[in-house]
Amino acid sequence: MTPTPLHGPAGRLPVRPAAAPADDGGARAEPGRWTASGELPFAAFWAQPCDGAVLLDDGTVLLAGGEDGRRVPTDGAALFDPSGGTWLRTGPLWTGRRLHTATRLADGRVLVTGGLGQGPAATAAGLVSCEVYDPASGLWSPTGELREARFSHSATLLPDGRVLIAGGAGVRSPQSHRTLRSAELYDPATRQWTAARPMTDARFGHPAVRLDDGRVLVAGGVLTVGRGSYTALGYCEVYDPATGTWTPTGSLATVRKSHQATLLSDGAVLVTGGDMQGFKDEDWTYDPYSQWTTERYDPGAGTWTADSHMPWGRSHHRAVRLASGSVLVLGGTDDSSLAVGYQNATLYDPAARTWTAEFAMVQGRWAPAAIGLADGRVLAMGGITESGAASPTPGEDQVTATTEIYSP
């Protein structure tokens, strides 16, 4: 039986299993260091599944959209120069948006789709509008509209250059929204969207990973079950672009939302953290905390197996695969309070299946953007530093414009 956490007035301590033995010749991941970098032109955060950051062909990073501490979307866009560590504003989006996706196309342009164009005071209707960024001109151009308005969906570039949009949320009534099963495909050549077969299960806020064989795995996510009520999912499924079909695959052992899914060098997929574990099967105790458990997906077998625990539970974090094959997990928070952003990171060694001890970042942050740079470093941007009762401003989360770089 998997060890269970100990809860107490000072917090909680996860009891971790013994580390799995390393493969012969496996090198242990060793933490590097974080250094402060230039500030963003605007403070913002990016709720999952998309963080709005894209690595361009010339090695610069494009960051577009997001939201402030009052959940108001921005039309801001900026470019980061890794050589100088500086940010420069570029052409703004035609429509300010949050909970959108940003995808680099095969020709180097960037497609932004859907999202929400208003803050929480308005009905969460979702957007059908999409736009494309041209790095040569630094400008955005409207492109074909989605067939269905959506936000918190996934977007995946397929091997043939099309973009697969899956799931998300849409309006149900002025007071509530619904979870979507629908999917659609964008063709950059025609600038048009066509309907794809719907998923087996409706979901939003889910990560999507393109596997080495070109198929797309979607794992877990969120389902709306009532006005302001949600549940996390353990169901997973795979899209095959050759047949245009979705096929259910192995389910996660633990339901998850606000988690990360990372493609490993060997073609497997690592899922980390997340929240909404809820009642546990073994003893029916209720666990409201973010998860430190991880699971590993075998695309050939279509199954998930438990992997080594992270040093601590976290959700709303980011996970980036390094050039070495190790996975850097950074920031995040605990779903029981959503109070502060974690000021630490940890490294996973996929050969040894072990995690390093946590090591410090410059700034605590949850729901940041993060992306691997062309030179092997990792850039972390923005995010929430304090929220809820921890925020000094009632009704407004503290959002940062700071950025930092991890050097392996």
Indicate the pTM of the whole model. 0.91
Q: Which pLDDT does position 186 carry in this prediction?
A: 98
Asked if residue 163 belongs to a domain, the reply is yes
Asked if residue 176 belongs to a domain, the reply is yes
Q: Which pLDDT does position 19 carry in this prediction?
A: 34
Asked if residue 42 belongs to a domain, the reply is yes
Asked if residue 338 belongs to a domain, the reply is yes
Asked if residue 375 belongs to a domain, the reply is yes
Query: Where in the sequence is the domain holding 111, given as residue range(s)?
Result: 17-407
- CATH code of the domain containing 25: 2.120.10.80
Asked if residue 6 belongs to a domain, the reply is no
Asked if residue 275 belongs to a domain, the reply is yes
Q: Torsions phi, psi of 390, nearest 5?
A: -80, -15
- In tens digits, the chain (408 residues) has pLDDT values of 333 232 222 333 333 333 333 333 334 578 899 999 999 999 999 998 878 899 999 999 999 999 999 999 999 999 999 999 999 999 999 999 999 999 999 999 999 999 999 988 777 789 999 999 999 999 999 999 999 999 999 999 999 999 999 999 998 877 778 999 999 999 999 999 999 999 999 999 999 999 999 999 999 999 988 887 888 999 999 999 999 999 999 999 999 999 999 999 999 999 999 987 655 555 556 566 889 999 999 999 999 999 999 999 999 999 999 999 999 999 999 977 788 999 999 999 999 999 999 999 999 999 999 999 999 999 999 999 998 888 888 889 999 999 999 999
**Which of 344, 341, 329, 315 lies closest to 378, judged by CA?**
329
Q: Which pLDDT does position 280 carry in this prediction?
A: 53
The count of structural domains within the chain is 1
Asked if residue 1 belongs to a domain, the reply is no
Q: Which pLDDT does position 18 carry in this prediction?
A: 32
Q: Which pLDDT does position 29 carry in this prediction?
A: 73
